[in-house]
């Protein structure tokens, strides 16, 4: 009797790329729900738009590159990119923002670099950075958190705003307001003390109102990913730890000029970056020490951009810059091989 031949191991791995991506999506769900709760149904519409465009471009590029379409479409990686992007743009942004963002994410950042596993840069952040640079004004149109909203927009209303670009019933001012980070930036630019700025209604206990709760839910999802071993603890810990360690002395030294450390952690996309963006394996570091450095680097750049940069939140740029350094860091932080002298 004859039997099939193959090299060891004979049993399959228990995980799959699709499985990993599904877990990431699942872990993002609480954050998505929280964001929708606080900032309205626009979040969901953006999500759908980003998903549609992401899969459209993914499909076209796979066809163009003559790759196995079914295999790669079912890996859920496009979905993760789309969701991360959608969570970072204002809920009422016009529909073509997603189109442009996903074009740069999927076509340029992902497929022109060789597709899944070969992208040097985090696709979602490339898309976001392009939008930030080209249409900075969009980011001032952020919906107010639920408790501060003057008008509750109906779903059809939201859809028409997104697709026509016109705030029909009222002006933009009535339905949007500056984000806490933006408020802080413009406030300090006007020479106000941080403590004064923080009395504005967009702020909550330590982050932005609503934002801090969203951050909590992101954190919960992140912890679940840690528990499931989908991500490793090094990047999130290094990132959040560095933010905390760098901002605490500043705050203690001069609380009037420097925001609370927790505010940095609980506002903007810090938490999302720590657990979901900086932990992107493909564009990040792979050595244990490199991962620590990567997290630290993102944190430092994030703070620098928030403090001195021209953009309200520096997550996208911080990540992209560190993506650039990742191969170099990996090269110099290789671990000692078993049985080799130190």
Q: What angle do CA 293, 294, 296 make, to 5 degrees?
A: 65
- 253 lines the binding site for other proteins (CB under 8 A): no
From residue 101 to residue 140, the character string flagging contacts with other proteins as x (rule: CB under 8 A) and all else as - is -------------xxxxx----------------------
Q: Output the smallest distance, CB 16 to other proteins, in A.
A: 5
Span near other proteins by CB under 8 A; candidates 1-9, 57-65, 149-157, 166-174 = 1-9
Q: How many residues does the chain have?
A: 342
**70 belongs to the binding site for other proteins (CB under 8 A):** no
Q: Tell me: does residue 63 bind other proteins (CB under 8 A).
A: no
Cα dihedral 186, 190, 194, 195, rounded to 10, equals -120
Burial letters for 112-132: b for 16+ Cβ neighbours within 10 Å, e otherwise? ebebbeebebbbbbbbbbbbb
Question: Is residue 25 within the footprint of other proteins (CB under 8 A)?
Answer: no
Rounded CA-CA distance 333/339 in Å is 17
Give min distance, CB of 197 to other proteins, in A.
Answer: 41
**Axis-axis angle for helices 17-39, 42-64 (nearest 10):** 150
Q: Is 338 helix (H, G, I), strand (E, B) or coil?
A: coil
Question: Residues 6, 152, 156, 199: which binds other proteins (CB under 8 A)?
Answer: 6
What's the min distance (Å) between Cβ of 254 and other proteins? 38
Q: Which of 65, 257, 288, 332 binds other proteins (CB under 8 A)?
A: 288
14 binds other proteins per the rule CB under 8 A: yes
Per the rule left: phi > 0, alpha: psi between -120 and 50, beta: everything else, 339 is left
- The nearest distance, CB 263 to other proteins, in angstroms, is 32
Helices (DSSP H) in 198-314: which residue ranges? Answer: 211-227, 234-253, 261-266, 270-272, 288-308
Instruction: Kindly tell me which of 313 and 330 has the beta carbon lying closer to other proteins.
Output: 330
Nearer to other proteins, 14 or 152 (CB): 14
Judge whether 130 and 149 are in contact, CB under 8 Å: no
**x/- contact string, 160-199, with other proteins (CB under 8 A)?**
----------------------------------------
Residue with tokens 């999130």: 236
Q: Give me the least distance between CB of 338 and other proteins, in Å please.
A: 5
Specify the DSSP element, H or E, that contains 245.
helix 234-253
Beta carbons of 303 and 247 less than 8 angstroms apart: yes
Minimum distance of other proteins from residue 291's CB (angstroms): 8
CB atoms within 10 A of CB 274: 29
Please report how close the Cβ of residue 15 comes to other proteins at its closest, in angstroms: 4
Q: Which residues bind other proteins (CB under 8 A)?
A: 1-17, 19-20, 71-72, 75, 77, 114-118, 229, 232, 281-282, 284, 286-288, 291, 330, 334-342
């Amino acid at each position: 009797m004859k039997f099939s031949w193959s090299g060891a191991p004979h049993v399959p791995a228990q995980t799959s790329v699709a499985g990993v991506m599904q877990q990431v999506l699942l872990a993002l769900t609480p954050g998505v729900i929280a964001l929708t709760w606080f900032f309205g149904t626009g979040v969901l519409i953006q999500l759908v738009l980003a998903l549609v465009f992401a899969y459209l471009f993914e499909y076209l590029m796979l066809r163009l590159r003559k790759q196995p379409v079914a295999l790669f479409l079912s890996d859920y990686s496009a979905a993760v990119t789309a969701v991360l992007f959608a969570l970072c743009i204002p809920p009422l942004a016009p529909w073509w923002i997603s189109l442009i963002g996903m074009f740069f994410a999927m076509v340029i950042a992902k497929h022109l670099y060789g597709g899944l596993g070969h992208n040097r840069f985090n696709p979602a952040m490339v898309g976001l950075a392009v939008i930030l640079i080209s249409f900075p004004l969009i980011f001032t149109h952020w919906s107010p958190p639920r408790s501060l909203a003057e008008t509750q927009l109906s779903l059809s209303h939201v859809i028409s705003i997104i697709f026509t670009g016109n705030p029909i019933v009222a002006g933009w001012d009535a339905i949007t307001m500056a984000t806490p980070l933006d408020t802080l930036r413009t406030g300090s630019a006007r020479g106000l003390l941080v403590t004064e700025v923080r009395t504005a209604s967009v702020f909550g206990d330590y982050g932005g109102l609503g934002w801090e709760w969203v951050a909590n839910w992101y954190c919960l999802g992140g912890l679940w990913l840690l528990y499931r071993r989908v991500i490793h603890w090094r990047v999130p810990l290094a990132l959040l730890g560095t933010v905390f360690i760098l901002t605490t002395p500043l705050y203690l030294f001069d609380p009037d000029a420097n925001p609370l450390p927790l505010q940095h952690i609980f506002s903007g996309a810090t938490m999302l970056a720590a657990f979901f963006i900086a932990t992107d394996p493909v564009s990040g570091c792979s050595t244990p020490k490199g991962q620590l450095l990567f997290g630290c680097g993102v944190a430092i750049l994030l703070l620098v951009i928030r403090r001195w940069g021209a953009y309200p939140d520096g997550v996208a740029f911080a990540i992209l810059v560190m993506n650039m350094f990742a191969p170099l860091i990996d090269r110099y932080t290789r671990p000692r091989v078993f049985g080799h002298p130190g």
